[in-house]
């Protein structure tokens, strides 16, 4: 750690860990409900658990991105964060939004729009929060004597994420129009500008962990940005197939969605190539493992599995089924969750001085969580295919179909248990590392 203000990242990382564990709890509530064990329904109905589960995902990922930015921007710009006090206020503001939203869901205080359920009053607080964040890192970057491609793309991705939150606040009584704008947030985040954030963070990690020349690594970023914009923007069309939008979205969405795996394939090739060419024998090999796992699983989950059911001729059968759950879980885990865990694995030893990444528990956390998530993806996939055949092709009643596929959710819960042991191990290692120190200097990069 080179600058004292980088310590603010720890608050965001700790908050992300807390929300991740809470998200898993609600995942189990839904999993047990799927096999008929819905004893909490009176207090936590399935729709409440689902909204809480998905929104916790979004908030803990955003917390991770913000923490990574507060660590990376000062180091890349070679100066202290412009307003550390504002970063502290912004952190507590984010915490208030998250806690208020979760509590509100349990009292039916929400907008009822998937991934954007938080009430409008909290939307305004989110806007103020993100503006403070963007102003802080933007001013730091602007006043820096050193301006790198890595920090520039990271900032642009974060700025664009803030910008594309605004369409989700457009009111409409027409469900088609409302869905149109809602996907501007959801799709253009996860399949657009978040990929730029992913590229910036992954670039920083690979520069630090492999020793490859910055110029070589950052050239890859231009390729990834180009592929992201080529495919991601018009690829939004695969969400417009059956919401009442014009028919031309069928061919636009199908054509550009077919190109979307290219950006994630570029990420995978980028990370693997850089790690093989790396000449630095960095002691934190676990952070590099997480980085490579992120790039590979993002291609499989977001790229391959996304493409597997976004063509119109396939999506007409799979839309709104557990096939989406199969794609969504591995996509979010591979592209973004693994990335944040990779960054925390790298940054915490720098901040605390405690090198716990070479412990057996940290290694177990990596393998158990990844194997568990892949197994969950398989369970979702098998259940989803069965659902499509029984419900969509054979015409079986929805609830009767859910009964038929219950055994697959038993397998899902077993896989989720393995995954959870990995995450709890990761959180335990994080807690054992302790709080950041005031010791400065990149001791562990040498």
What is Dmax (Cα atoms) for the chain? Answer: 65
What pLDDT sits at residue 82? 92
CB 257 within 8 A of CB 191: no
CB 231 within 8 A of CB 259: yes
Residues 6 or more apart whose Cβ sits within 8 Å of residue 177: none
CA distances from 44 to 20, 48, 110, 420 (A): 18, 6, 15, 21
DSSP 381-398: HHHHHHHIIIIIIS---H
Residue 278 has pLDDT above 80, yes or no: no
DSSP 107-133: TT-S---TT--S-HHHHHHHHHHHHHH
pLDDT in tens, 322-367: 999 999 999 999 989 999 999 999 999 988 888 777 789 999 999 9
What pLDDT sits at residue 446? 38
Q: What is the CA radius of gyration of the chain?
A: 21
Query: First CA to last CA across the chain, in angstroms?
Result: 12
pLDDT in tens, 378-417: 999 999 999 999 999 999 999 999 999 999 999 999 999 9
Q: Which two tokens stand for residue 229?
A: 């914009």
Quote the DSSP letter at residue 167.
Answer: G
Among 193-197, 325-329, 363-367, 434-438, the least confident range: 434-438
Q: Which two tokens stand for residue 218?
A: 């950052």
Question: For residues 68 and 133, what is the distance between their CA atoms, to the nearest angstrom?
Answer: 12
Residue 444 has pLDDT above 60, yes or no: no
Question: For residues 245 and 235, what is the distance between their CA atoms, to the nearest angstrom?
Answer: 14
Quote the DSSP letter at residue 146.
Answer: -
Q: Which two tokens stand for residue 105?
A: 């869901």
- Better pLDDT: 136 or 211: 136
CA distances from 7 to 65, 206, 326, 437 (A): 15, 21, 36, 8
CB 244 within 8 A of CB 176: yes
What pLDDT sits at residue 439? 72
- Phi, psi (degrees; rounded to nearest 5) at 33: -65, -35
What pLDDT sits at residue 279? 62
Residues 6 or more apart whose Cβ sits within 8 Å of residue 238: 253, 254, 257, 310, 312, 315
CA distances from 256 to 160, 238, 264, 309 (A): 20, 9, 14, 13
DSSP 204-216: HHHHHHH---HHH
Mean pLDDT of 152-167: 91
Question: For residues 341 and 331, what is the distance between their CA atoms, to the nearest angstrom?
Answer: 15
Question: For residues 154 and 117, what is the distance between their CA atoms, to the nearest angstrom?
Answer: 27
pLDDT tier for residue 45 given thresholds of 50, 70 and 90: very high
pLDDT tier for residue 280 given thresholds of 50, 70 and 90: low
Question: For residues 379 and 27, what is the distance between their CA atoms, to the nearest angstrom?
Answer: 14
Cβ-based neighbour number of residue 440 at 10 Å:
11
Question: For residues 169 and 279, what is the distance between their CA atoms, to the nearest angstrom?
Answer: 48
Residues, the chain? 446
């Amino acid at each position: 750690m080179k600058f004292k203000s980088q310590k603010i990242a720890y608050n965001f990382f700790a908050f992300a860990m807390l929300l991740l564990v809470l998200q898993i709890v609600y995942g189990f509530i839904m999993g047990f409900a799927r096999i008929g064990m819905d004893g909490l329904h009176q207090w936590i109905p399935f729709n409440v658990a689902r909204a809480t589960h998905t929104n916790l995902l979004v908030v803990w990922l955003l917390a991770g991105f913000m923490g990574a930015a507060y660590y990376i921007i000062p180091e890349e710009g070679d100066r202290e964060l412009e307003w550390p006090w504002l970063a502290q206020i912004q952190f507590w503001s984010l915490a208030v939004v998250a806690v208020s939203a979760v509590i509100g869901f349990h009292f039916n205080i929400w907008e009822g729009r998937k991934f954007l359920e938080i009430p409008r009053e909290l939307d305004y607080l989110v806007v103020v929060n993100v503006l403070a964040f963007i102003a802080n890192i933007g001013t730091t970057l602007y006043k820096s004597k050193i301006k790198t491609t890595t920090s520039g793309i990271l900032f642009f991705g974060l700025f664009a994420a803030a910008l594309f939150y605004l369409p989700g606040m457009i009111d409409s009584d027409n469900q088609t129009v409302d869905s149109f704008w809602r996907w501007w947030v959801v799709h253009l985040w996860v399949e657009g500008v978040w990929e730029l954030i992913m590229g910036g963070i992954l670039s920083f990690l690979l520069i630090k962990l492999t020793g490859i020349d910055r110029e070589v690594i950052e050239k890859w970023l231009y390729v990834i940005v180009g592929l992201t914009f080529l495919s991601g923007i018009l690829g939004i069309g695969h969400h417009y197939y059956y919401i009442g939008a014009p028919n031309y979205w069928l061919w636009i969405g199908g054509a550009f969605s077919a190109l979307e795996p290219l950006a994630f394939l570029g990420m995978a090739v980028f990370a693997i190539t850089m790690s093989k060419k790396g000449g630095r024998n960095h002691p934190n090999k676990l952070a590099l493992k997480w980085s490579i796992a992120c790039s590979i699983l993002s291609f499989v989950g977001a790229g391959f599995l996304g493409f597997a059911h976004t063509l119109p001729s396939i999506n007409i059968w799979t839309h709104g089924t557990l096939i989406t759950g199969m794609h969504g879980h591995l996509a979010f885990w591979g592209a973004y969750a693994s990335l944040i865990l990779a960054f925390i694995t790298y940054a915490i030893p720098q901040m605390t001085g405690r090198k716990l990444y070479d412990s057996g528990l940290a290694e177990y956390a990596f393998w158990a969580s990844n194997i568990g998530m892949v197994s969950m993806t398989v369970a979702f996939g098998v259940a989803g295919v069965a659902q499509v055949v029984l419900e969509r092709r054979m015409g079986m009643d929805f609830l009767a179909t859910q009964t038929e596929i219950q055994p697959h959710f038993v397998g899902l819960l077993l896989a989720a248990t393995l995954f959870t042991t990995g995450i709890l191990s990761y959180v335990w290692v994080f807690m054992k590392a302790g709080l950041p120190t005031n010791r400065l200097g990149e001791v562990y990069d040498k």
